[in-house]
Structure 1
Amino acid sequence: MWSGPRNISTAMMRAFENRADTTVVDEPLYGFYLKATGIDHPGRDEIVAAMTCDWRPVVRDLTTGPIARGRIHYQKHMTHHLLPAVGRDWLDRVVNCFLIRDPAEVVASYLEKRADVTLADIGVREQWEIFERAADRLGRAPPVIEGRDIQADPEAMLRALCAAIGIGFDPAMLSWPAGRRDTDGIWAHHWYGAVEASTGFGPPAPAKAPPPGHEALIEAAELYYRRLRAHRLTGAP
């Protein structure tokens, strides 16, 4: 699942982890991304010290490693972690799905956590590049799902997503116990407060306007977002 930041990506991971047939992994390329870019994120040094920061063994584990339980390996990825140095061939060995959100909302939410934001920080350009590769290989659009659509009608949208990737829908995806998981990244205490308190998908929150000065960034991001949104799933088939 390829998402940008400040979407419902962790809630989606919760939904899949609540299936008995699924193992999840939380942003496995995050350590590599932080070490390679030198960018300052909350808990950066702790994350780099704890994670494998060479993308090659990470990708090997993602594509050939054993799955702890069940038959589905749900990988929560941030698109901006897929830096140009990372090989792309492994993308052809997984089912690629795309979780999107309006860039204006992403920017407004992101700025609540960090002082500044760039197009590279929100990853929507990289999301479109990954989408194009997957579409070329498949000969059709891979699944795209909008966070607000899931929040508005979780069952219908999760049914549609499951159908699109060829697995059965499980009602267990609709709710989960509150709290932190062993599978959460060690950065959870910086970012996951809301999802740790949750027991399911909440309704869409009112859209927040970003502060002035980010119009050019949002316009650039919307170019890719609109392309992706044109392919979004709209409900159970």
Structure 2
Amino acid sequence: MKIIHLISGPRNISTAMMYAFAQRSDTTVIDEPFYGYYLKHSDIDHPGKEEILNSMETDPEIVIKNLYSAAKKTPVLFIKDMAKHIQGLNTDFMNKMHNVFLIREPSHIIASFSKVVDHIPEKEIGYSYSLRLYEQLIKKEQNPLVIDSGIVLGDPESSLIKICDALGIEYQSSMLTWQPGPRQEDGIWAKYWYNNVHKSAGLKHKMEKPKDVDEKYYSLYLQSIEYYKELLKHAIK
């Protein structure tokens, strides 16, 4: 049993990474299992909030129990998670997982996220908590991985080969492509957030350059870029 726990920020190709792992013959994937807990215990107003709360478990202890039960179904379980969703939880449940931090240059996150949500506090991006959590795991000798979205998009196949090698699993070429459209592993929130990835057919080569940031989000960008740079130092090249 191998549990890969992807800890990401929003708008960070995390869904594409989930789709990539869903193509594997040995892997079950789960989409943002703590989203309901996050919405229930925060004042954040996301699209479809009530629908999401009514559709999923919000007790983190039950969620954790269910995750470990799901891990028995296939040799590999891939959990797509958001850093902000687990903030405030006892993270001991991560001790038996392979924890992977997925980061992206913040101007891309802000530009994409602001198309769906107008008000973006730093906790929504989640980089400050991601860095703290990474440092906590290092102290526990957990040896978490850091993956940068820009590096992955720059060379998807080589990046996936290196990621799989670091995780101790065999790379499968099927991870590079999938059929466009909604997928069975999508959370109920997919209709609000996954339009772009639903148009995709796989991880394609793309060189990302920083985007212009609207003035209203510039202080958020300055906050986030410092945390991002610290995490980037540890990213798989």
Deviations 1:154-186 (A, max 9, x none): 011011111111111110111111121121000
Deviation, structure 1 residue 11: 0.3
Aligned to 1:150: 152
Aligned to 1:191: 193
Deviation, structure 1 residue 145: 0.9
Deviations 1:2-61 (A, max 9, x none): 100011000000000000100000000001100111321011010000010111100122
- Which deviates the most, 95-104 or 195-204? 195-204
The equivalent position to 2:107 in structure 1, one of 99, 104, 120, is: 104
Aligned to 1:95: 98
8 A Cα contact 1:23 1:68, kept in partner: no
Aligned to 2:43: 38
8 A Cα contact 2:105 2:150, kept in partner: no
- Which deviates the most, 65-74 or 121-130? 65-74
2:180 is the alignment partner of 1:178: yes
8 A Cα contact 1:103 1:222, kept in partner: yes
Aligned to 2:63: 58
Please give the secondary structure, in 1, of the residue aligned with 2:211: coil
8 A Cα contact 2:105 2:210, kept in partner: no
Deviation, structure 1 residue 151: 1.1
8 A Cα contact 2:84 2:124, kept in partner: yes
Gaps of 5+ in 1: none
Please give the secondary structure, in 1, of the residue aligned with 2:213: coil
2:117 is the alignment partner of 1:114: yes
Using the alignment, how far apart are the partners of 2:29 and 2:207 within structure 1? Answer: 24
- Which deviates the most, 155-164 or 211-220? 211-220
Aligned to 2:31: 26
8 A Cα contact 2:7 2:80, kept in partner: yes
Letter of the aligned partner of 1:67 in structure 2? A
Deviations 1:62-104 (A, max 9, x none): 2x213374211000001001131x1111111111001100112
Aligned to 2:3: none
Aligned to 2:130: 127
Using the alignment, how far apart are the partners of 1:56 and 1:68 within structure 2? Answer: 18
8 A Cα contact 1:21 1:69, kept in partner: no
Aligned to 1:214: 217
Matched positions, count: 231
Of all paired residues, the percent bearing the same amino acid is 36
Using the alignment, how far apart are the partners of 2:60 and 2:99 within structure 1? Answer: 18
- Which deviates the most, 106-115 or 23-32? 106-115
Deviation, structure 1 residue 129: 1.8
8 A Cα contact 2:213 2:221, kept in partner: no
8 A Cα contact 1:20 1:70, kept in partner: no
Using the alignment, how far apart are the partners of 1:45 and 1:201 within structure 2? Answer: 32
Gaps of 5+ in 2: 1-5
2:82 is the alignment partner of 1:78: yes
Letter of the aligned partner of 1:185 in structure 2? G
Deviation, structure 1 residue 137: 2.1
Letter of the aligned partner of 1:101 in structure 2? R
Please give the secondary structure, in 2, of the residue aligned with 1:97: strand
